[in-house]
């Protein structure tokens, strides 16, 4: 069973070629994050046309690269910066194609 609780969720908001596989995702992630950060995080990659999302998940038992497609709409990237952390509620909204709005602090 996949457990995404108590994890940081990172959205890579730059355009990326969706033909990459799990090894290329690992190479990209491990060059930017430590092994401990990878085990405590979920990484989300969005296609150029914003209709496909790939999610990299790793735990102590193995790793997975999952894909989610939207047919009638596009994923709305929540922020402009790379490797942006989001919370669980924002992740759920994002994967449903809803717009995630950053909460501004005073």
- Residue 35's pLDDT is 92
Q: Report the distance separating Cα 58 and Cα 43, nearest Å.
A: 9
pLDDT one-digit tens code per residue, 25-83: 899 899 989 999 999 999 988 888 888 889 999 988 899 999 988 888 888 776 554 55
The per-residue pLDDT for 5 is: 78
Q: What is the mean pLDDT of residues 96-100?
A: 75
The dihedral sign for the CA sequence 44, 94, 88, 67: negative
pLDDT band (50, 70, 90) for residue 18: confident
* d(C-alpha 2, C-alpha 103), whole Å: 28
For residue 39, the model assigns a pLDDT of: 92
CA distances from 46 to 21, 43, 75 (A): 14, 10, 8
**Secondary structure, 3-state, 28-90:** HHHHHCCHHHHHCEEEEEEECCCCEEEEEEEECCEEEEEEEECCCCCCCCCCCCCCEEECHHH
């Amino acid at each position: 069973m996949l457990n995404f609780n108590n994890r940081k969720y990172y959205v890579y908001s730059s355009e990326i070629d969706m033909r990459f596989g799990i090894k290329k995702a690992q190479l990209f992630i491990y060059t930017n994050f430590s092994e401990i950060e990878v085990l405590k995080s979920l990484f989300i990659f969005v296609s150029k046309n914003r209709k496909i999302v790939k999610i990299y998940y790793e735990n102590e038992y193995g790793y997975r690269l999952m894909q989610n497609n939207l047919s009638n709409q596009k994923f709305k990237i929540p922020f402009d910066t790379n490797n942006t952390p989001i919370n669980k509620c924002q992740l759920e909204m994002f994967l449903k194609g809803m717009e995630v709005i950053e909460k501004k602090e005073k």
